[in-house]
Chain A
Amino acid sequence: MRKAVSFILVVIIAIGIGFSLQEVPFGKTKSEVRKYYLEKGIEQTGATNIVTSVVVSYRGFDTLGEVTVLFIAAIGLSAVLYRKEERLKKEVRKSSLILYTGCRFLFPLIILFGAYIFIHGHLTPGGGFQGGAVIASAFLLTMLGCWRWGGINRNRFKITESLSGLIFVVVGLLGLLYGGYFLLNYLPKGMPNELFSAGIIPIIYIAIGFKVGSEITGIIDNMTRSG
Chain B
Amino acid sequence: MEFIQNYLYYIASFGLILIGLYIILIKRNLIKMIIGLSIMDTGVNILLISMGYLSGGTAPIFSRENLLPSRMVDPVPQALVLTAIVIGVAIIALALSLAIVLYRHYGTLNIRKIRGLRW
Chain A residues within 8 Å of B, Cβ to Cβ? 2-3, 6-7, 9-10, 13-14, 17, 21, 24-29, 31, 33-35, 37-39, 42, 48-51, 54-55, 59, 62-63, 66, 69-70, 73-74, 76-77, 80-81, 123-125, 127, 129-130, 132-133, 192-193, 212, 216, 219, 222-223, 226-227
Contacts and interface: CB of A to CB of B under 8 A. Distances in A.
Contacts of A38: 60, 69-70, 72, 75
Interface in B84-115: 85-87, 89-91, 93-94, 96-98, 100-101
Interface residues of B, number: 47
Contact of A2 (B26, B54, B90): B26
B86 A133 contact: yes
A21 B18 CA distance: 15
Interface of B: 6-10, 14, 18, 21-22, 25-26, 50-55, 59-63, 69-70, 72-76, 78-79, 82-83, 85-87, 89-91, 93-94, 96-98, 100-101, 119
Main secondary structure of the interface of A (DSSP, over half): helix
Nearest to B25: A6
A72 to B, nearest CB: 8
B7 to A, nearest CB: 6
Given A35-B69, A38-B75, A123 B63 contact: yes
Contact of B61 (A35, A50, A80, A81): A50
Given A2-B26, A80-B101, A192-B62, A31 B86 contact: no
B28 to A, nearest CB: 10
Q: Which 10 A-B pairs have the closest CB atoms?
A: A73-B90, A27-B55, A6-B25, A38-B69, A50-B60, A54-B79, A66-B83, A34-B74, A48-B62, A50-B75
